[in-house]
Amino acid sequence: MSHHKIERRLIALTILAIGLATLWIPTSYAQQKSNPETKHTNRSQPDKRGTPNNPVAVDIVATEKDEQATAQEQKDRGERRRVDEWLIGVGIVQSGVFLLQFIAFIIQARFTRDTVNEMKEGTKATLRIATTAKENAAQTIDTMECNTEKQLRAYVMVDVDELLDSETGWLRAEVKIRNFGQTPAHNFIHITGLLVAPSGASINLENMGGFSRAILAPGQTIIAKTKVKTEFTSEIRKEVEAGTSMLYLVVEIFYHDAFGKERWTTYRAFRGGIHSIKDGSMVRDSTDNDYC
């Protein structure tokens, strides 16, 4: 049962009780006043008293009251009746005041409860707003940090590659590696290899060796040189020109940026098939070039 239904029932019961009381009190008073001589009934009867030894009967006869006593008695009765009526009125007024106070108390309790509920809802709304603002602020800070890192971090990549001595049996290549970022690259390492492998093969540079440098400053460029490990014979050249094998230039770069995060770059270029072997830049393989 809801609070509003309980309040309405309590108010109705209170009003009903007050109404019954106001009806019962005057009725009871009227009944009592309608028979004012009841308490004198026994005195109007003769009182006969005696003993076995002296069986004398004595009749007590009420004396007649004079007019002045009768008038005074009626006056006293009128005054008592007015006092009783005044007391009844006071009782009714007090009952009404009590009823009004009771109703006011219920209304105040309901208003207090509604106020408390509104305060709770307001507090919850404030907490939700604060939580949302906190999340938005955290997200904004993360975005700013991410953007700051993107703008200021080191970007170490291959700038230029060049194939040399393509007409000889010992091909070699030079690669320019540059830091395109705004901050230094720390613990810089690169591994470079020039080799012939089947077309589309996965190439492992673990045995190629590497070059390390403590720091690669912003805008700084280094030249990495490499050559084929085995002689580029005419038979191998025919396979490469036919496209069954390819001449690959592979570069792997590892470093830490200024924010302490590990970064890497992979670079892969090739010659072979429709891209004949000749001096100059090699063809970049877009599928195998990536960075972090």
pLDDT in tens, 82-134: 887 788 878 888 877 887 788 878 888 887 888 888 888 888 888 888 888 88
The candidate with the shortest Cα–Cα distance to 226, out of 244, 249, 252, is: 249
pLDDT of residue 148 exceeding 70, the answer is: yes
Write out the DSSP string of 177-240: EEE-SSSPEEEEEEEEEEEEEETT-----GGG--EEEEEE-TT-EEEEEEE-SS---HHHHHHH
Query: CA 276, CA 269: separation in Å to the nearest integer?
Result: 13
DSSP assignment letter at 115: H
| Model pLDDT for residues 165-205, shown as the tens digit of each residue | 888 888 899 999 999 999 999 999 999 988 898 987 887 77
How many CB atoms sit inside 10 A of residue 143's CB?
Answer: 10
CA distance 223 to 161: 9
* Helix/strand/coil for 289: coil
Helix (H) or strand (E) holding 176: strand 172-179
Q: Are 11 and 103 in contact (CB under 8 A)?
A: yes
Rounded Cα–Cα distance for residues 246 and 249 (Å): 10
Instruction: Decide: pTM greater than 0.85.
Output: no
Rounded Cα distance, 208 and 190, in Å: 11
Q: Which range scores top for mean pLDDT: 15-19, 63-67, 105-109, 161-165?
A: 161-165
In angstroms, how far is the first alpha carbon of the chain from the final one?
65
Dist CA 194 CA 52 (whole Å) = 159
Question: What pLDDT shows up at residue 49?
Answer: 55
pLDDT for 129: 87
- What does each C-alpha distance from 199 to 225, 272, 279 come to in angstroms? 23, 9, 20
- How does the average pLDDT of the chain come out, rounded? 79
Amino acid at 274: I
SS3 state of residue 275:
strand
Q: Which of 251, 255, 48 is nearest to 160 (CA)?
A: 251
Residues 48/59, Cβ–Cβ less than 8 Å:
yes
